[in-house]
Amino acid sequence: MEEARGVAGDHPAKEALIDVSIEAWRFARVFGRLLGKLEVSETPRYANQSRYFLKKIDDGLNACGLRIVTLEGQPYDPGMAVSALNIADFGPNDFLVVDQMVEPVVMGPDGLVRSGTVMLVKAGRP
């Protein structure tokens, strides 16, 4: 994963934006789970604030030609730009699906900027 970090490493401001964006992505996931525990009448207000915050993060990324990519639910391929934390739990012939993104993939105009981290799950063949 470190080799991908060098792409933005020459630009400390861009690297900082990527770091903040990934942390915002993580926070949004936790916040989304929290919203599910609120009273129904309170949820829309907080959900709207969260969406606005994430839109501002996306706007900042887009201004630098960057975007966050999540792969949850997609069939796992060893060529994906991710590290699978639990790959050793499966056999070579298992059909695997990305169950959870631990850290998203960051793409730029010239390709991969930062690889992601995932958890896999065994699934039936499509």
pLDDT digits (tens, 9 = 90+) for 86-100: 999 999 999 999 999
Percentage of the chain lying above the pLDDT 70 cut: 91
CATH number of 121's domain: 2.30.22
The residue segments making up the domain with residue 85 are 66-125
32-74, pLDDT tens digit by residue? 999 999 999 999 999 999 999 999 999 999 999 999 999 999 9
Q: What is the layout of strands, in order, in the sheet containing 116-122?
A: 82-84, 116-122, 96-103
Residues 95 and 52 both lie in one domain: no
Structural domains in the chain (count): 2
Distance between CA atoms of residues 69 and 56, nearest Å: 16
User: Against a cut of 0.95, is the pTM above it?
Assistant: no
16 domain-assigned: yes
Q: Tell me which of 63, 78, 100 is where a domain ends.
A: 63
d(CA 108, CA 6): 13
Q: 39 in helix, strand or coil?
A: coil
Same domain for 57 and 76? no
Amino acid making up residue 106: V
What 3-state class would DSSP assign to 17? helix
71 and 99 both lie in a single domain: yes
Query: Do residue 59 and residue 75 come from a single domain?
Result: no
| Same-domain pairing of 50 and 70 | no
State the pLDDT at residue 11. 85
Cβ-in-10-Å burial (0-12, 13-18, 19+) of 26 comes to middle
C-alpha 23/C-alpha 27 separation (Å) is 6
Residues 104, 72: contact at Cβ < 8 Å?
A: no
Q: Is the distance from CB of 58 to CB of 69 less than 8 angstroms?
A: no
Rounded to 5°, the CA angle 104-108-111 comes to: 90
